[in-house]
Chains A and B, each alone.
Chain A
Amino acid sequence: MPDLVWFVIRRLFGAALVMLALSFAVYLVFYAIPADPAHLACGKPCTPDRLEQARHFMQLDQSAIQQYLSFLKGIFAGRTFGDGAAAVHCDAPCFGYSFPLARPVTTLILDRLPITASIAIGAAILWLLLGVSLGVVAALRRGRLLDRLSVGVALVGVSTPSFLLGLLAILVFGFWLNMVPVNGYVPFTESPVDWAWHLVTPWLVLAVIQAAAYIRLTRSQMIEELNLDYITTARAKGAGESRVVVTHGLRGVLVPIITLFGLDLGALLGGAILTEKVFSMQGLGDLLISAVAQLDVAVVVGVTLFSAFLIILANLVVDIVHGVLDPRVSHG
């Protein structure tokens, strides 16, 4: 086990370094923005000294490095802008403060996150289940109808942009068949049933598109695995077919599937952002797009870094699961 512990520590350290480097790079890039956010805050008429005041209040008069350091400090200890009665406090973890919206970026993100996360997590579970089970069935019944059907689904999934498939699903299932709601989000805490009912179509749309690659991978991996010697041995010793497939065959499939899933996390977030727009749900994507339009740099930087951190963390979890499942990884 110590091997695994070291592996986890190494990975944690690596992830922290990547986050640090990334946040610095992002801060430098977005610091170069030509539009002055203080200009929007200072109102009309904007006299030079009022502008200077606004810049000082928003801490824009500091150098890029200084601003970056206070940003980092804000994540762990919170930040305060200005002083006296007009001071604005932003509690830790503070990902910046949006002056146009007069709210901490962390609060803004946490308000929208449940929507995007509901879409992404539900879709991921569904696509993994769909992808692996259809892949296994296709491998066991090679050349039969179901095999061909899943290869066909895979092709359609690869060639249809998610937003197009989403709109088609709304048109067919929502409008013509009147089966599912076409838009809107219901919080889980309000009604779990309504929550799931509103999300079923987005989940299916994303799952069908992404499952394609998983069907193909599971199918080819399973076929390869079932031809290996130890499977023949297990069969010769009288192991039942279901035992052979589930305990022996699937184990060989899981590792490549997890690796692929790690690579798809970024695409998962992107897919969720597109899907929430199709189904008129106001998630992280909506927050980011309106912030870009309103030149709200704090929100843009906050959302960008937050989602990058999320992906890095999720990748870390995938890595560790990988290490647990396949000891060769944690030894190396």
Chain B
Amino acid sequence: MSSSVAVAVSPTRQALRRVRKDRSAKLGAVLVVLLVLIAAAAPLLVKLSGQDPYTYHLDLLDPAQGNAPKGAFGGVSSEHWFGVEPLTGRDLFSIVVLGLRTSLTIAIVVTLVTSVVGTLIGISAAYFGGWYDAVASRVFDFLFGFPQLVFMIALGIIVPAGFPRWLLLILVLSVFGWASLARLIRNQARSLVAREYVEAARSVGSSGWHVITRELLPNLLGPVLVIATLAIPGYIGAEAALSFLGVGVPPPTPSLGRSISDSIAWVYTGADPWFLFFPGVALFVAVLGFTLLGDGVRDAFDVRLRRTS
């Protein structure tokens, strides 16, 4: 007698219900909402703090200590909520929230681009099969086990100086990112193509486009959502890594990775570990939040994704 009720609940609603019961997924969701809000409202928050990330405050530095900030916790005060940057005295709160905005924007755009491209290529490879599938699968394998970071750094040389670096970052991360999603979606779609309802749609003469968009895609939205959510922390980390290496977002645009890179010298000597603390915590929380949410979404949709197969 319970069956009639259970059938009426859509898989999506069931999944949402499961996320709500999962404590670490809930924590992840709260963190993600918070991070996105902060990133979206970053310019407003900076205005509210009465600071900006570009103005030098040399009077707040202590020349006796190699121009580390004066005062405790890296110069935290009612004006500078996270203290100031050593050497320049720029407001660290503005740098961190605007840096977070840069990171999240790039990661989310890359996730959208790779999801669309990867889904289309993955589904079509599974649907059409044959040599197209064979070639696509070789390309996935190839891009997957590739020294991606080396290529991302190297590509910087063929880009003209005037080309916006943030756009380059999005392009480079997308070029190397779509393959892992396409590969997983292809494997999922392959099992669907053999199902009777797809066979039925084909036998009544539906076009390939119709079968892909109307029959296959709706059944693959769950896996796509899961893989995309799980991929976001990877892109946040990759963007930060490239900026850390000095080939990402150029100064003076705030960037978490570059701030962390700048902090190395201050960490070695112990002069101002707070310069690492604030951007570091922001990056860690961003990656952790999306990872927890991604794990929760995966468990909720009960998608089995094996990296090895």
- Residues of A contacting B160 in the complex (Cβ-Cβ under 8 angstroms): 34-35
Does the CB pair A289–B245 fall under 8 Å? yes
CB distance from A262 to the nearest CB of B (A): 6
Does the CB pair B233–A295 fall under 8 Å? no
Residues in A155-200 with C-beta less than 8 Å from chain B: 155, 158-164, 167-168, 170-171, 174-176, 182-183
* A292 at interface, CB cutoff 8 A: yes
Pick the contact of A300: B154, B264, B276 (CB < 8 A): B154
CB distance from B223 to the nearest CB of A (A): 19
CB distance from B126 to the nearest CB of A (A): 21
Classify chain B's interface size.
35 or more
- Residues of B contacting A311 in the complex (Cβ-Cβ under 8 angstroms): 145-147
Q: Chain B: which residue is nearest A30 at the CB level?
A: B158
Q: Chain A: which residue is nearest B287 at the CB level?
A: A159
| In the complex with contacts A164-B280, A289-B246, A300-B154, A175-B147 CB distance below 8 A | no
* B172 at interface, CB cutoff 8 A: no
Does the CB pair A273–B149 fall under 8 Å? yes
Does the CB pair A18–B142 fall under 8 Å? yes
- Residues of B contacting A217 in the complex (Cβ-Cβ under 8 angstroms): 308
B242-253 interface bits toward A, Cβ cutoff 8 Å, 1 = contact, 0 = none: 001111000000
- Residues of A contacting B241 in the complex (Cβ-Cβ under 8 angstroms): 161-163, 270, 274
* B144 at interface, CB cutoff 8 A: yes
Q: How far is the CA of A310 from the CA of B264 in the complex (A)?
A: 30
* B187 at interface, CB cutoff 8 A: no
| In the complex with contacts A159-B288, A161-B241, A263-B145, A171-B154 CB distance below 8 A | no
Does the CB pair B276–A167 fall under 8 Å? yes
Pick the contact of B263: A167, A174, A273 (CB < 8 A): A167
Does the CB pair A161–B237 fall under 8 Å? yes
- Residues of A contacting B142 in the complex (Cβ-Cβ under 8 angstroms): 18
Q: Chain A: which residue is nearest B150 at the CB level?
A: A307
Does the CB pair B284–A160 fall under 8 Å? yes
Does the CB pair A160–B287 fall under 8 Å? yes
Pick the contact of A30: B146, B157, B269 (CB < 8 A): B157
CB distance from B291 to the nearest CB of A (A): 5
Pick the contact of B267: A155, A167, A289 (CB < 8 A): A167
Does the CB pair B149–A300 fall under 8 Å? no
A129-171 interface bits toward B, Cβ cutoff 8 Å, 1 = contact, 0 = none: 0000000000000000000000000010011111110011011
CB distance from A330 to the nearest CB of B (A): 18
* A215 at interface, CB cutoff 8 A: no
* B95 at interface, CB cutoff 8 A: no
Does the CB pair B245–A304 fall under 8 Å? no
Pick the contact of B150: A162, A164, A270 (CB < 8 A): A270
Which 5 pairs across A and B sit closest by C-beta, in order of nearness? A270-B149, A159-B288, A259-B308, A175-B270, A161-B237
Residues of A within 8 A of B (CB): 18, 29-30, 32-35, 155, 158-164, 167-168, 170-171, 174-176, 182-183, 213, 217, 256, 259-260, 262-263, 265-266, 269-270, 273-274, 277-278, 280, 285, 288-289, 291-292, 295, 297, 300-301, 303-304, 307-308, 310-311, 315
Known contacts A266-B148, A304-B151; 19 further A-B pairs (Cβ under 8 A): A30-B154, A33-B158, A35-B157, A161-B240, A161-B241, A161-B283, A163-B244, A167-B280, A174-B268, A175-B273, A182-B268, A183-B268, A266-B144, A269-B147, A269-B150, A292-B153, A292-B156, A292-B157, A311-B147
